[in-house]
Amino acid sequence: MGAIRRLGNSDGVAAYSLHRNVYEPLARDSGYNTQQIERNLRTVIQRAWCVNPEGLQNICPYPLQAAPTTGEFLDILVTHLLRKHPEVFERKSSE
């Protein structure tokens, strides 16, 4: 969660290299490798899009025509959390 929390303090996911600034820290924190992190994110995105596209659309600030990319998904997620749950980013990370 530390890597995602840091994204909330940035100008958005697009300003970062996903691999270096998201996958690598998550891999270090979780014990999984970066390929597993990326694959699992793609799996979550596809599952969400297939099972509940309306729910995904509800948290997205723009219309989705297809499942978002991993970068888009993380941007959607961070934007939603910043708007609805800013306390997630205000807490000091002990991770």
CA distance 87 to 17: 25
Q: How many CB atoms lie within 10 A of CB 70?
A: 18
pLDDT beyond 50 at 38: yes
Residue 16 burial class via C-beta count within 10 angstroms: exposed 0-12, middle 13-18, buried 19 and up: middle
Q: What is the DSSP string of 28-65?
A: HHHS--HHHHHHHHHHHHHHHHHH-HHHHHHH-SS--S
Give residue limits of the domains in the chain.
2-90
43-95 pLDDT, tens digit per residue, is 999 999 999 999 999 999 899 999 999 989 998 998 898 888 888 777 655 54
Q: What is the pTM of this model?
A: 0.73
CA distance 9 to 56: 22
